[in-house]
Amino acid sequence: MIKIKTTFLSSVMLFTIFSCANKKDGVANISREKKINSEIKLPFKMPEVQIPKFKNDTLNIVDFGAVPNTEQLCTNAINTAIEKCSQSGGGVVVIPAGLWTTGPIKLKSNVNLHTQNGAFISFTSDLKQYKLIESYFEGSKVIRCESPIMGIDLENIAITGQGIFDGNGAVWRPVKIGKMTAGQWDELIKSGGTLSKDGKIWYPSKGAYIGNEEKDKLPKKETIENMEPYKEALRPVMVSLVNCKKLLLDGVTFQNSPAWNVNPLMCEHLTLRNLTIRNPWYSQNGDGLDLESCRIGTVTNCRFDVGDDAICIKSGKDKEGRDRGKPTELFVITDCVVYHAHGGFTIGSEMSGGVRNIFAKNLTFNGTDCGLRFKSVRGRGGVVENIWMEDIRMNNIPTDAINFNLYYFGKSLTEDKNTGEVTVAKEPISEETPAFKNMYFKNIYVNGAAQALKIMGIPEMPVSNIEFQNMIIRSDVGVQLNYASKIDFKNLDLRLDKPGIAVSFSNSQNVSLDGLKSTGENQMFWVGGLETKDISLKTNGKKMILNKDVKVLESIRDEVKVVD
């Protein structure tokens, strides 16, 4: 099976604009939200999501001096309108149709920033407009440039409408040569910037080059003042919302971000719906939505086409994340579509504060590199548990439909090229040991993937208590489990496009497979690993021949039970 990756780029300096259908003007329809939530029977108790409400008072940025269709900055006009609206008790600040250029927008409590159809808000390429501040990135406190859209310690806020916010990410982001055609790479070099020493990475400025390639030249103890010469390397997330409560993002498009696109951090009561979130497919750190240490919310009817993971669940990194101790929890994610992304739905790798009680339903991944992606590494710590995913459809997945990798950015592993088996030394369990457990997958349909399912657990803390029910998967390679425990399959239909092993288990315990159908394989099962115990294989009436259809390591033969 040939996997095709479509290139959307016509020129590195041009970013095609599109907006998704099915968007609505106005603020939240509370009755509709309650109806949707009542129709889904959640497997955990969840408080009703509080949706912000606003006064009818309306202010127009034009009345504060904003001029459309020019390069004149509207920063002061937009922020003054927001400030006045908030001070007067709140309401709606309107950005009308037109092209608007602005510096950082600073949200305030009780304000709905509403964009009319035809409003295109472009954040300026003048990096002097973005001050260095103490901020967050990839789970850690850092010095970073101001985000194009910011909100800190706010309550009752919204960004709504049909407008487009463009982060002008090309002036911030490095680009790797492998992401370009030869012609595109030549045009990029001609535009200016600086190449890495090996000539394989383009940086938009000398400061960005030093900040990434010559970190030994950076101050040993970073401050806002001494990092100023290197600020071009300190790319912000586009939408940064920190410690906010009652947040609504509805209908708008966020695209072309400097780094991550939309990043709520330590927020409560989030309603995100009808959004289009886009980045060029080559964009470095070009995540779509990163929910980080947040609780109680919904993500509904959103579209993603990005350069990194699309729907990302995070909770801080290593000791800092564990000390923060704020898991991402109590979220319902439904009716979303992901096009290009590294992962369609991802948990990790920054999950040190934990993730729990997440329900996802009716997600579609089309051409996404990996479908469902769960990742961590020794040292993170944190517990990911109580995750439910159902009615997931995938088409043309270049790598794994479902992937668990607990060696992300860790030491590379040597795998048996036929069985996928790895052998890893066990380490002591500590607060730095990550755990993935109690996860449920139901109604998973995949039309084309390189591999159906791959679990790479760690021996001291195997991926455990996972149920897979009703899966139909067409792929090149079937199922591979390493260091997994208490794994149940019910009604698994594998359709392999390349001959090989349908299902292989290594160093795994308490695995049950009931109702397997498989076509295209030249071997049904392989079971190995000295720590393997209690494997039950039910083949739906298909007669198995030992050492042909089923191969088992001799020393563990008594641990494997095959039922025709």
- Judge whether residue 494 has pLDDT over 50: yes
Q: What residue ranges do the domains of the chain occupy? A: 174-234
Q: Tell which phi-psi region holds residue 337, choosing left (phi > 0), alpha (psi between -120 and 50) or beta.
A: beta
Residue pair 158/250 in contact (Cβ under 8 Å)? The answer is yes
Cα separation, 405 vs 413, in Å, equals 11
Output phi, psi for 349, to 5 deg. -80, -15
State whether residue 406 is helix, strand or coil.
coil
Q: What DSSP string describes 522-557?
A: SEEEEEE-TT-EEEEEE-TT----BTTTEEE-GGGG
Q: What DSSP string describes 284-340?
A: TT--SEEEES-EEEEEES-EEE-SS-SEEEE-B-HHHHHHH---EEEEEEEEEEE-S
Cα separation, 459 vs 463, in Å, equals 9
In sequence order, which residues have a C-beta less than 8 Å from that of residue 1 and are 6 or more positions away?
448, 476, 497, 498
Give the pLDDT of residue 33.
54
Give the residue among 164, 206, 210 at the shortest CA–CA distance from 148: 164
In the chain, what are the helix, strand and coil shares in percent, each to the nearest 5? 15, 45, 40
* CB atoms closer than 10 angstroms to residue 65: 13
What tokens appear for 392 in the block?
């997931």
What's the average model confidence in pLDDT over 186-196? 94
The structure's pTM equals 0.92
What tokens appear for 93 in the block?
């600040």
What's the average model confidence in pLDDT over 162-176? 97
What's the average model confidence in pLDDT over 93-113? 98
Residue pair 280/256 in contact (Cβ under 8 Å)? The answer is yes
In sequence order, which residues have a C-beta less than 8 Å from that of residue 120 and are 6 or more positions away?
17, 98, 99, 100, 163, 164, 166
Q: pLDDT digits over 416-433, tens only?
A: 888 989 999 999 999 999
- Judge whether residue 48 has pLDDT over 80: yes
- Judge whether residue 26 has pLDDT over 70: no
Average pLDDT of the chain to the nearest whole number:
92
